[in-house]
Chain A
Amino acid sequence: MTTTPTTPATPAPEKKSWLREHSELGVSLLLLVIGVLVLTDALTMTVDITQRGPVGPKTVPVVVGAGLLVVAFLLAIDVLRGGRGEAEGGEDVDLSEPSDWRTVLLLAGVFLAFAVLIGPVGFPVAGALLFWGAAYALGSRHLHRDPLIAAGLSLLTYVVFNNLLGVPLPGGPLMGVL
Chain B
Amino acid sequence: MDSLNSLIDGFGTALTPMNLLWAAIGVLLGTAIGVLPGIGPAMAVALLLPVTYGLEPTGAFIMFAGIYYGAMFGGSTTSILLNTPGESAAVVAAIEGNPMAKAGRGAQALAAAAIGHFTGGMIGTLLLVALAPTVAALAVDIGAPDYFAIMVLAFIAVTSVLGSSRIRGLASLLIGLTLGLVGLDQMTGQQRLTFGSLQLADGIDVVIVAVGLFAIGEALWVAAHLRRTTGEALPVGRPWLGRDDVKRTWKSWLRGPVIGFPFGAIPAGGAEIPTFLSYVTEKRLSKHKEQFGKGAIEGVAGPESAASASAAGTLVSMLTLGLPTTAVAAVMLAAFQQYGIQPGPLLFEREPDLVWGLIASLFVGMVLLLALNLPLAPVWAKLLRIPRPYLYAGILFFAAVGAYAVGGEALDLVILLIIGLIGFGMRRYGLPVLPAVIGVILGPAAEQQLRRALQISDGALTGLVNTPFSVAVYAVIVLLLAWPLLRKVIVRRRNVSA
Contacts and interface: CB of A to CB of B under 8 A. Distances in A.
Interface string A93-118: 11101011101100110111011101
B174 A86 contact: no
Contacts of B306: none
Interface string B26-40: 000000000001100
A38 interface: yes
Contacts of B389: 134-136, 138-140
B451 interface: yes
B473 interface: no
A42 interface: yes
B227 A92 contact: yes
Contact of A31 (B55, B84, B174, B188): B174
Interface string A6-49: 00000000000000000010010011001001100110010101
B188 A99 contact: no
B193 A92 contact: no
Interface residues on A, range: 35 or more
A57 to B, nearest CB: 4
A86 B222 CA distance: 15
A101 B170 contact: no
Given A134-B392, A140-B387, A167-B53, A94 B226 contact: yes
Q: Which of B174, B389, B457 has the most CB of A within 10 A?
A: B174
A115 B413 contact: yes
B192 A90 contact: no
Contacts of B223: 100, 103-104, 107, 137-138
Nearest to B387: A140
B219 interface: yes
A71 interface: yes
A30 B425 CA distance: 11
Contact of B429 (A45, A85, A161): A85
Contacts of A61: 181, 192-193
Interface in B338-384: none
Contacts of B390: 135, 140, 149
A49 B222 contact: no
Given A47-B188, A139-B226, A157-B401, A168 B38 contact: no
Contacts of A108: 220, 417, 421
B204 interface: no
A127 interface: yes
B410 A116 contact: yes
B138 interface: no
B37 A90 contact: yes
Contact of B404 (A47, A140, A169): A169
A139 B388 CA distance: 9
A52 interface: yes
Interface string B142-168: 000000000000000000000011011
Contacts of B405: 161, 167, 169
A178 to B, nearest CB: 20
A7 to B, nearest CB: 12
A153 interface: yes
B174 A138 contact: no
Given A57-B190, A91-B86, A100-B223, A31 B171 contact: yes
A118 B394 contact: no
Contacts of B400: 111, 114, 127, 130
Interface in B202-236: 216, 218-228, 230
A97 B401 contact: no
B77 interface: no
Given A54-B459, A64-B181, A90-B38, A166 B220 contact: no
Contacts of A176: none
Contacts of B393: 130-132, 134-135, 138, 140
Contact of B388 (A97, A99, A118, A138): A138
A111 B396 contact: yes
A38 B175 CA distance: 11
Nearest to A95: B225
B197 to A, nearest CB: 13
A157 B371 CA distance: 29
A135 B397 CA distance: 10
B430 A153 contact: no
A145 B355 CA distance: 45
Contact of B225 (A100, A130, A153): A100
Given A45-B192, A86-B164, A130-B400, A114 B221 contact: no
Contacts of B171: 27, 31, 71-72, 75
Contact of A93 (B178, B190, B225): B225
B181 A78 contact: no
A140 to B, nearest CB: 4
Interface of A: 1, 3, 5, 24, 27, 30-31, 34, 37-38, 41-42, 45, 47, 49, 51-57, 60-61, 64, 67-68, 71-72, 74-75, 78, 83-88, 90-95, 97, 99-101, 103-104, 107-108, 110-112, 114-116, 118-119, 123, 127, 130-132, 134-140, 149, 153-154, 157, 161, 165-170
Which 5 pairs across A and B sit closest by C-beta, in order of nearness? A85-B430, A91-B37, A134-B393, A140-B389, A138-B389
Interface of B: 37-38, 50-51, 53-55, 78, 82, 84-86, 164-165, 167-168, 170-171, 174-175, 177-178, 181, 185, 187-193, 216, 218-228, 230, 387-390, 392-394, 396-398, 400-401, 404-405, 408, 410, 413-414, 417, 421, 424-425, 427-431, 447, 450-451, 454-455, 457-459, 461
Given A54-B461, A135-B390, 6 more contacts: A57-B187, A68-B174, A90-B38, A92-B227, A165-B55, A167-B50
